[in-house]
Amino acid sequence: MTLLASCGQNIDCSKKTQNLNISFNSDPGSLDPRRGGDVSKTIIEFMLFEGLTRFSKEGIIEFAGAEAIHISLDQKTYTFILKDNVWSDGTPVEAIHYERAWKDILSPSFPASFAHLLYSIQNAEQAKRGEVSLDSVGVKAIDSKTLVVTLEHPTPYFLELTAFFTFFPIKFGKNETDFLYNGPFILTDWQPNFQISVEKNPRYWASSEVHLDRITVHIIDHEMTNLHMYEKGELDIVGVPLAPLPVDSLPILYKEGKLHTQSVAGSTLCVFNTQEAPFSNVHIRKAFALAIDRQKIVDSITQIGEEIATAVLPPLLKNDKQALLFKDHDQENARRHLKLGLKELDLEALPLITYIYLKGEVNTKMAELLQEEWRSVLGANVQIEKMESKNLLFHLDNKKYQIGQASWLAFYTDPINILERFKLKENSKNYSGWEHPSYKHLITRSFEESMEERMMTFEKAEQLLIEEMPISVIHHWKYGYLKNAKLEGIFISPIGDIYFTHAYFK
């Protein structure tokens, strides 16, 4: 192994190699960043690929594949000048590799989960719908080093988007399953559902910053096995966002001070089907939302110090600003809204209500607590039904439910990331089917406002979501994990991505 010059005081010189062992609870299945995927796939992609920008170890957006960025006065045209950078086979990373990758995602026939992140680009959404050609999309490689991007409207968070995996360039080797890599690591071994190995990329433009020689990812779908392997020194870091720890161990580890925690811009929530009675009625939605005892949920179930939600947005999307837009567990107002809702619906009592949720120990305990609170506060007869992820999403997407469990994790740190999904009832993540003309106006005008004006507009939008209550956020997330005391330099971004570019054993 080649360490830092003279093996600097922060690096463990007794180690001949800097090898990191981590685990996922499932195999990523694919390494194609254009297609999107689950958390484990994202983590691997950040090891192997890199975009025009990246998060620094301080959490600030900085240059990566680009060495300069020129933004027009109207803030709609971005000209990226690429630095001298090469793929893992030594060939240059060129502007056309970005253009082709982004336009692949926008092809109507290409299965890309996060194509909507490109919709701030001129004609991107229309191209994805097949309404215009890909040639009309505002992405153009002028020459090998110059990429010009034209936006539909000013997008203050665009440089943060370009750090996300959906915006990575792509180049293939011998065939379209043989990727080349431009990130800090290269893939050296992949045994599906067993183990993945990556090694330091000697051709990475910032290879001097990378201290790990190898990362070995063990695929382990049993939470207790993860904990035992960590205790035996066979894993160096375990827990979310990697393979999870046993649920029952979290409060114990947290109280003992062993568990590292970090707030991220994610939330757990209830979503109401506003397309059908009784949750087509705003008072019924408010009754169920106000009846929830959020503090009891985080104190007795999740138990690692999460923040309860008395607004919509995670505080990390509002510069850690706390908001109290309604009172937690407001039983009196919950019953008042129930009476108003029943009267408007001309009902004597609530019908049988079904709550669907994602299977899992924590989610089951939460569902049982919600079921009891809605019974005791509202007299509601609620049956609970656990589902596999795919089945749950099918029911939410197709509005085949009454109340459902949902969650979100921001892709970038601008509030529009969460708020925009409720602009139109047909938006893919707007499971509630709610739409409001005043809300649509607020979101639309935010794209033309100054930063200060945008923040005020977002406050109004959030207030309207509380007044209408198509969703009821329960708590905001914290990641909880254990790590080797000698392991330093890992970085978890506000949006929950974990980076090992600067990791090392001290």
pLDDT in tens, 249-291: 998 999 999 999 999 999 999 999 999 999 999 999 999 999 9
| Tens digit of each residue's pLDDT (9 = 90 or more) over 231-256 | 999 999 999 999 989 988 998 999 99
CATH for 113: 3.90.76.10
Asked whether residue 61 is domain-assigned, the answer is yes
Q: How far is Cα 427 from Cα 149, in angstroms, rounded to an integer? A: 25
> Do 326 and 463 fall within a single domain?
yes
Asked whether residue 218 is domain-assigned, the answer is no
Q: How far is Cα 155 from Cα 75, in angstroms, rounded to an integer? A: 8
Q: How far is Cα 244 from Cα 110, in angstroms, rounded to an integer? A: 32
CATH for 377: 3.10.105.10
Contact between 314 and 408 under an 8 Å Cβ cutoff? The reply is no
Asked whether residue 334 is domain-assigned, the answer is yes
Asked whether residue 285 is domain-assigned, the answer is yes
| Tens digit of each residue's pLDDT (9 = 90 or more) over 317-359 | 887 677 789 999 999 999 999 999 999 999 999 999 999 999 8
The domain boundary, picked from 174, 199, 220, lies at: 174
Contact between 294 and 328 under an 8 Å Cβ cutoff? The reply is yes
Q: What phi and psi values does residue 487 have, to the nearest 5 degrees?
A: -80, 125
Contact between 90 and 141 under an 8 Å Cβ cutoff? The reply is no
> Residue 13's pLDDT band (boundaries 50, 70, 90)?
very low
How would DSSP label each residue in 306-328?
Answer: PEE-SSSS-GGGGTT----SS-T
Residue with tokens 């019953």: 335
Q: How far is Cα 304 from Cα 77, in angstroms, rounded to an integer? A: 44
> Do 154 and 273 fall within a single domain?
no
Asked whether residue 312 is domain-assigned, the answer is yes
Contact between 210 and 501 under an 8 Å Cβ cutoff? The reply is yes
Domain residue limits at 150: 50-174
Q: How far is Cα 175 from Cα 29, in angstroms, rounded to an integer? A: 18
Domain count, the chain: 2
Asked whether residue 44 is domain-assigned, the answer is no
The domain boundary, picked from 174, 201, 229, lies at: 174
Q: How far is Cα 32 from Cα 114, in angstroms, rounded to an integer? A: 12
Q: How far is Cα 34 from Cα 273, in angstroms, rounded to an integer? A: 31
Q: How many CA atoms lie within 13 A of 419 on its CB side?
A: 32
> Do 415 and 287 fall within a single domain?
yes
Residue with tokens 């970038």: 412
> Do 170 and 271 fall within a single domain?
no
The domain boundary, picked from 174, 208, 239, lies at: 174
Asked whether residue 233 is domain-assigned, the answer is no
Asked whether residue 40 is domain-assigned, the answer is no
Nearest to residue 259, comparing CAs of 270, 248, 251? 251
Write down the pTM of the prediction: 0.85
> Do 279 and 428 fall within a single domain?
yes
Alpha-carbon separation of residue 428 from 263, 305, 484 (angstroms): 26, 31, 40
| pLDDT score recorded for residue 6 | 32
